[in-house]
Structure formats: structure tokens, C-alpha cells
Structure 1
Amino acid sequence: MKILLDTNIVIHRETGKIVRQDIGQLFFWLDKLRHEKYIHPISIIEIEKYKDEQVLKTIRVKLESYNLIKHPAKFGTSINQLSGNVDKNQNDVYDTQLLNEVYEGRVDCLISEDKKIHLKAAQLGISKQVFKIQTFLEKATAENPDLVNYKILAVKKIDFAEVDINDPFFDSFRLDYAEFNKWFNKKSEDPCYVCYQDDKLIAFLFIKIEDENENHSEITPSFPKKKRLKIGTLKVTGNGYKIGERFLKTVFDNASQYKVHEIYVTIFNKRPEQEQLIDLLQEWGFKKYGIKTTPNGEEFVYTRTYGKSLPVNIQFPKLTYPFISRKTNKYIIKIEPQYHTELFPDSINTKEDSSKYTENEPHRNRISKVYISHSKDRNLKAGDIIVIYRMGETTPKKYSSTVTTICIVESIRNDFKNFEEFYDACNRRTMIARQALLDDWWNKFPGNRPFVVNFLYAHSFPTPKPTLNDLNVIGVIPDIMNMPRGFIPLDNDQFNTLLKFAYKKKQS
């Protein structure tokens, strides 16, 4: 496969200065998969503008390891029209020239962190061939699990004192905050969340609960008094494992536990990793509020209203996640045990070995997941609630089968033209391998192709979880010998009865 690399990725790789740790992962996978790495003559022109002559000499030597596009594709009608409409300067035209190589089929894909490039790719209809580093890593790891040479990649809660303050991971924080080391040492007994890959720190999260009297004098406009959760420190290096989404689940879980009314974060926008974090926060409902001014400079402040008083956005449930609407339809869906805990690691049963389910797969770390079905009932819609039923492994099944999780439907896909479209919809959100998706799902019933439910993993029922026998006793499943196939509808009374029973069972 021919992979065209944007200029900035090449510069980050070859200057010798580690600016982004995910660059190393990217090149690891490019080499592992034996992809051909290409650069465009435009990149040579841009690199020659580099001011440090010594660094430039080094880069020139290293560029010999890349394939150079010798004959750039000429602009056709569509590209000319796009360029004329959106390109404002020469750099924009250069970016369009990179895209043109993909559009004309000269290369298979382009990897770039440039937002404008991705917007133009969407207009040209080639978004699936233009990747950010993170999305390429997700694709590579999901499609090649046998090539992943590390098995443990778990999010852990530990104290600051257990983390090496001198780890290069924190260098970017030291650049942004002069007092970082002093602040870090003061937090020695406080908890934080970390993720290591091959004994290397790749993700870090610190959160703080603030009461109504917290001093926010550095923030403009001023904060009204509220109980808040502050995302104090959050950094994730790209590795293809959706740890950022996993950390957001941790943030939301803590916000629910401590009953806060708002979540906020202050963040600079100096580097691509910060820009990616801002994109992630906005995707999940955070909005730009104002500015925090300190001797370190001006940071953006992003906030998200939180609590049951928040009106639920039924059409776009990510924006008000994890809250659900009682006005939507509700269903129970059955999942076989071998799939269940892979998708829902927080909903593990007490008899399962949790050590087998460290979060080392994209589908485990994602809040966003998929359910694949051949059911004739395809009327689900955004905002609907699905209750996950884990089928039992031991007899009697009425005691080993449990309901474990509440999820929110995000969207339905039922219009696949071919297997590739179906595979793209499932990839990275499910544990099912490509060949199994083809044989066991796409080709199983040629006259009744599967459809895909995109949903959000919202809440785990407390342990002990309600069993099938419990559902029968409380009237949610009246006849356990004749359970319906597919999606089992619940009315509001049944759903409320289930919730009351599940949480009352926890207290008893």
C-alpha cells in the first residue's frame, strides 16, 4: 500500500526532537505492515524553508529513505473547482496537491493532522482514504491484532507518588506550566489515572471535585457558584486504543458519583495533541466558555453542564451522555457471554476473571460500540434505550443469565451497498474479526443482510446484577420459556421496575 505523508509528519519524525510520541507508533505500524512511505515534491520545497541549517542537512539525508512522487498528478476539473473555492494562499494549494494524489489514485491514502485537508477530503468524497495519526493507528491495530506485541494496556488508579515525575511524557506540561513539578510533588498522596504501554506512560488523568466556594478569579467571564468536577490534567498520546474516550468515561462516572452540576477543563491550544483533545471534548458536549489568565498565558476554558436537570439531546446523545430520556423506546437485547465482557469491561460478572479483560482493545475502551443483528425489527432510532442481557453459561440459565448494562442508541445503519461498507461500520467498535464478519454475518443470510446499531455504553447495573429469574419474578420477562427473539420491547413501567429492583438489590 502506498502511503503519502504530510510534510509536518515527516518533519516531526526526522528532526530528532521528539515532539509527538505517536509519531513513533505510526512509523512502527507503517514498517510492520510493509507499507510504502511516500513524500510529495511539495514537501521538499516546504522542508527547504527550515531555518536550522544543521537540522536541514540531517533531514535531507533521512529523506532518502522515503519514496518521492516523481510525477505529481495534474489538477482535474473537480480539484480545480475545489481549489478555486476554498484555497486562500499557497500553503492551501500545496495541501490540495497532496489530496490530488489520493483523488487521482496515485497513492492509496494520505496521513495528515491538518484540519483543512480533512475538510477538503470530505468535500471530495475521499475521507476514508485520508487519516489522522490516531485514526490510522486504530485501523492498524484493529485489523492486525496478531501483530500487537503488547498484551497489557490497562487504565489504573494510583497515587501521584507512584508516577515518575521525570518521565518525558510530562515535558509538554513543563513547557506550558512553569510550576508543574512543584504542583506535581504537592499532589503526591492524591489519586490519578494512568495507562502504560510496554512500561511506558502513554496517558494520564487527574480530576478534582470543587465545591461552590472554589476560587475561580482567573477565569473570565466569572463562574457562577456550582459544585464542579475539574479535569485538572489530561493527556493521551495517540496509540490507536481510544484511551481518551475511556478517560472521559472515568470523568463522567466521577461526575455522577459526586453529583456535580458542571465539568470543566482549562487547556492551551499550542500543539496537535491539545487540538485533538479539544475536538474530543466538543464531540462529547463541551463548549468554549471563556479564558483563564495566569502568568503562563491564556488558556481556553471548556465547560459541560451535568446532571439530571440537563435536557437530554435525543438526536445527538453524546452531547448529554450518560443521561437517558424516558420518552424514547426501550428494548432488551441478548449478547453471548464471549462477546459481552469484551464490549463491556465495567459490567463484568462476579464469577468472571477480570484480569483477562484489561483495556487493551479499541472496542473495550470506546464508549461508542456496535450491535450487529439480522432481526426484522429495525425500527430503533437515536435516543432509544437498550438493556444488555448477558446469556448464561451454566445451568440453570435463569440464574446465570443477567442484565448488566444500560446503553443509548446513537444511530442505525441499514443501507450497506456491499461488505466493505458493512465492515467499515463495524471495525474498531467490535471484537469480531473481518473474516467472521464476512462469513457469519454478511453472508449468513444473503436475502437478509445484517444491520448495525451504533450505541453508547452508559451505565452498568450494580452487583449483584438482576438475573433472568429476577426479571421473571418482577414481571419484566413474564414467560422465560418463550423469550422473544431479537429486540424485546419494554414499556415504561417494566423499565422503571427493573431500575428500582437493580438498585434496591444493591442496597439489600
Structure 2
Amino acid sequence: MRILIDTNIIIHREANRVINEDIGLLFNWLDKLKFDKCIHPLSIEEISGYQDENVVKTMKIKIDNYNQLKTESVDDQLIRQIRQTDNSRNDFIDTSIVKEVYNNRVDYLITEDRGIHRKANLLGCSEKVFKIDTFLEKCIAENPELKNYQVLAVKKEYFGNININDVFFDSFKQDYDEFENWFNKKADNISYVCITDGNVKAFLYLKQEDKNEIYNDIEPSFPQKRRLKIGTFKVTSTGYKLGERFLKVIFDNALQYNVEEIYVTIFDKRDEQLRLIYLLEDWGFRHWGTKTTDNGVEQVFVREFKPTPNLQQPKLSFPAVSKNTRKWIVPIYPAYHTELFPDSILNNESPQDFSENKPYRNAIKKVYISRSINRNLNGGDLVLFYRTKFNGPAHHTSVISTIGVVENVVTNIRDENHFIELCRKRSVFDNEELKKHWNWNKYNRPFIVNFLYIESFPMPKVNLKKLRDLNILQDAPRGFEPISDVKFEQILIEARANESYIID
């Protein structure tokens, strides 16, 4: 397996001081799996022009640790078209790097560069281009016996019960002189934390603010609104989609407190901060301005919480969805139900069996594989998931458990390998199971529905008996079945759904 590694990752890996601890975990996996670590010849040119002379000297010594690509593939028409938009030498090099995975000279490319990821989308090879965290997810999903963590659970915890001396908090201490004092004063406040083997992997503190909050240090000034402030937020790369899991916590709190906006103030000095900014931007946060403090100037990012639903890119307005779309109901077997929707756990299932030790459990973005006759779903369509019978008659144990919103549908799948690559980042299935799905019927290949997980309905959930009594459904759905607006409304009422995320 040949893995092409982008320039900045190599620079940070070989620097004399640790800049990005996540890169150490990445290279640990690359070594474990005996992957061939490759470097593009133009990356060496970039490194030679790096401002830090110590890094350049170190890299010239350590460059033999990588397999330098001996040749470059030829530019085809699509590559030449992309080069027309390159405005600098760096842009040109980025195109040359992504070209090698596009032309199958290497198996995968790992890069944190958003521009390269955009080019991969244009070239139709985005499933082979990974960020550090998503590549770790791939490694864990395909090699579960080699994963470092058995359980990664997010829980509420008082500040006072968390070890402030954990190295996780060192970056906060560097950025904020008053951090330790502030942290100790919050001893009786609730935070969200993920602790594994005694080490903190992620931390989140949220603060509800009313319309009377004063924002003298933010420019431009905030208008009066009910807001949720992301007070402290950090996630280390583990390959378990903790960033998405914590985003779900943020959005759930915003729903609970019925706020108008969510905002965060954050420095943009380190890679970990930039990655967090990119994650927030991917989910609809936009740069507002700056906050000036004694510690320096922070960037301010704001997200309208209930914007007009974006049907083409639902995650930009998540969890806000539109009523003016089609509605579907689809079955899901018990064996996969709580694997995909841990928050939908039912009374007859054991919580101990569903700790968040697999990437897809933490994700908001998920995959549903189907051979349904109906394949014409669109972005923004709403889907109700019907868990089929479990240890009892369908009448009582089949239930409507969860609602999601469609991102997109993929029907143009080239072959088995392409199918596995498209599913790998979000699916409950391992590679062998995915192969079985693909080959089950060669005359009816599966398609993929990418969707966002919005809400698990409270217990008790609406079962088949109730659906029959209300004349909503008589039998379990087979594939994606459309339902009327009237029946959809009935289900939401019976399910006691939090309809505040549904925008007229």
C-alpha cells in the first residue's frame, strides 16, 4: 500500500519539536500496517523553501525515511483544466500532488490542505484523499484488533473531577495566562469530556447567554440575541469521530435552550486550532470578527442556529430541516440499528454493548446501503427509520426510532472497491460484509444514501401496533417507501419529537 503524504504533514513530523501530536498517532498506524510512506519530488522543493532553517536541515537528513516518487504522471485534460485556476507555485504543486492519486500512482493521499481536498472532489477521487483523522478512522475500521482504545465514551463531568494537569490542557495554559485559575473556579460546573486510560481525549464547556450579555471586546459588536457560547473546546485526533460527536452535543444543547445563535472565540495559531475552525466551518460556522483580550486577538465564529434549511448541503443548516421536502420510511434490522444510532437504544438492549468504540457510532454523517426500488431521494429529504422486530412479535417490538435528513444519494458506483471506499468512512459494516452486500445480486447492485442523524425519539417509541391503529402503516416497509405529509406529522406527534428543528 503506497501512501502519499503531503508536505506540511512531513514537515511537522520531522520538526525538532512536536507541533501536532496527532501526526505521531498517524505515523504509528502507518508503521504498524507497514504502509509505504511516499513523498512527492515537489514536496522536497517546498521543504527547501521553508522559512525555518532548522526544519530544512533536519528534513535533508531524514528525507531517506520516505520513498520519493521517481516519476510524475502525465497531465490529462481535466488536470490541465484545474491548472488554469492555479494562481501560485504552491497551487501548482498541490495539483501535482493530488494528480498522483487521481492517476492511481499511489493508493491514498493524506493531507490537511483544504484546497487539495477541493481538487480531489473535482477530479472524482475524494474517497482516496484523507485528512489525518479520517485516515485514522479507516485504519481502525479495517483493523479493529490493532486499535488502541476499547471504549471512547462521552460523558458529563464536573470540572472539579477532571485532572487539570493532564497534558491535554497544556495548550490552553500556553494560550491563556488565567486558565488554571478559571478552570478551578468552574469546579462545580458541568463539562463534556472523553477520558480513556486516564487521559483526556476531548473536552467541551458550553455557556448559555441571554440577550443582556455584554460583548464589549468583540468587534463588530453582537446584536442582542439568545446565544450558546462554546467556551472551551478541544478534540485530539483518535480516529473515532469525536469532533462530530461533540458537535452533536453542541447542537442538542442549542435545541434544548432554544438559542438563536452559537458562537466561539478561538486562536488560530496552531494546527489543532485551525482543524477545529475547519470543522466548525464545515458545519455552517462563519467568521464574524475578532475578540481582543490580554492574551491576544482571538477569531470569532458564529452560526445562526435555525437558518433557512440548506437542501443541497444540509450540514450547513443542521439540525434545521424543511417540511417542504419528501418524506420516507425505511427499515433497519436490529443487528445494525443501535450500532448506527447509539442514542436510540431501546429497553431490551444493553447500554454496555454500545459504548462509542467504533467511529460510525460517534458520527452525525452516516451511510445507509439499499437495494430499494425507490432510488430517487434528494438532498434535504427526511427519513424515518423503522427498526424491525426484536425478540418478540413485530406488532409490539417493531418501532419508529429515529429521524435523519438525506445529504445525497450515490448510484454511480464503478465496482466493488469503489463501493467499499465510498462506505468505509460511515458504515457499520466491515469490508467483508460490504463485499457481501455488493455481490449479493449482480443484477441489482446496492446504492448508497448518505444522511445526517438528527434525533432519536424518546421512549416509549411508536410501535407497529400504534401505526396500524392510526392507519399509517400496516406492514414493515420494504426499502424506501414514501409517506404523506399528513402521516409524517402524525408520526412526529405520536413519537413526541422535538419539532423545533423543523422549519416551515
What's the TM-score, normalizing by structure 1?
0.89
The structural deviation recorded for 1:376 is 0.8
Matches within 5 A, 1:123-162: 123-162=122-161
Matches within 5 A, 1:298-447: 298-307=297-306, 310-439=307-436, 441-447=437-443
| In 2: Cα distance, 1:357 partner to 1:501 partner | 27
User: More deviation in 314-323 or 49-58?
Assistant: 49-58
Query: CA distance change for structure 1 residues 171 and 488 in 2, over 3 Å: closer, same or farther?
Result: same
| In 1: Cα distance, 2:244 partner to 2:497 partner | 30
* C-alpha contact 2:261 2:304 (8 A) present in aligned 1: yes
Equivalent residue letter for 1:402: V
Which residue is 2:482 aligned to? 489
* C-alpha contact 2:157 2:191 (8 A) present in aligned 1: yes
* C-alpha contact 2:227 2:259 (8 A) present in aligned 1: yes
User: What do the CA deviations read for 1:335-358 (whole angstroms, capped 9, x no partner)?
Assistant: 111100000001100221112111
* C-alpha contact 1:138 1:428 (8 A) present in aligned 2: yes
The structural deviation recorded for 1:23 is 0.8
Whether 1:289 and 2:288 are equivalent positions in the alignment is: yes
Whether 1:453 and 2:449 are equivalent positions in the alignment is: yes
Which residue is 2:220 aligned to? 221
Identity of aligned pairs, percent? 50
Any idea what SS the aligned residue of 1:245 has? helix
Q: Which runs of 5+ in 2 are unaligned?
A: 499-504
Equivalent residue letter for 2:442: P
Which residue is 2:10 aligned to? 10
User: More deviation in 224-233 or 124-133?
Assistant: 124-133
Whether 1:503 and 2:496 are equivalent positions in the alignment is: yes
Which residue is 1:466 aligned to? 462
Equivalent residue letter for 2:468: N
Query: CA distance change for structure 1 residues 262 and 59 in 2, over 3 Å: closer, same or farther?
Result: same
What's the TM-score, normalizing by structure 2?
0.90
| In 2: Cα distance, 1:393 partner to 1:399 partner | 9
Query: CA distance change for structure 1 residues 204 and 129 in 2, over 3 Å: closer, same or farther?
Result: same
Which residue is 1:209 aligned to? 208
Which residue is 1:173 aligned to? 172
| In 1: Cα distance, 2:340 partner to 2:148 partner | 21
Query: CA distance change for structure 1 residues 330 and 62 in 2, over 3 Å: closer, same or farther?
Result: same
Q: Which runs of 5+ in 1 are unaligned?
A: none
Any idea what SS the aligned residue of 1:276 has? helix
Query: CA distance change for structure 1 residues 353 and 58 in 2, over 3 Å: closer, same or farther?
Result: same
The structural deviation recorded for 1:98 is 3.9
| In 1: Cα distance, 2:83 partner to 2:481 partner | 54
| In 2: Cα distance, 1:504 partner to 1:458 partner | 11
* C-alpha contact 2:15 2:55 (8 A) present in aligned 1: yes
Which residue is 2:502 aligned to? none
Which residue is 2:33 aligned to? 33
The structural deviation recorded for 1:491 is 1.9
Equivalent residue letter for 1:37: K
| In 1: Cα distance, 2:53 partner to 2:497 partner | 70
Any idea what SS the aligned residue of 1:370 has? strand
User: What do the CA deviations read for 1:225-280 (whole angstroms, capped 9, x no partner)?
Assistant: 11111111111122221111111110111111111111111122222222222222
| In 1: Cα distance, 2:327 partner to 2:239 partner | 33
| In 1: Cα distance, 2:52 partner to 2:263 partner | 40
Which residue is 1:19 aligned to? 19
User: What do the CA deviations read for 1:275-322 (whole angstroms, capped 9, x no partner)?
Assistant: 222222222222222221222222222212224xx4322332222221
* C-alpha contact 2:127 2:421 (8 A) present in aligned 1: no
| In 1: Cα distance, 2:103 partner to 2:366 partner | 34
| In 2: Cα distance, 1:7 partner to 1:349 partner | 47
Query: CA distance change for structure 1 residues 252 and 449 in 2, over 3 Å: closer, same or farther?
Result: same
User: What do the CA deviations read for 1:423-460 (whole angstroms, capped 9, x no partner)?
Assistant: 22221211112222222x22222212112221111111
| In 2: Cα distance, 1:37 partner to 1:504 partner | 49
State the Cα RMSD in Å: 2.7
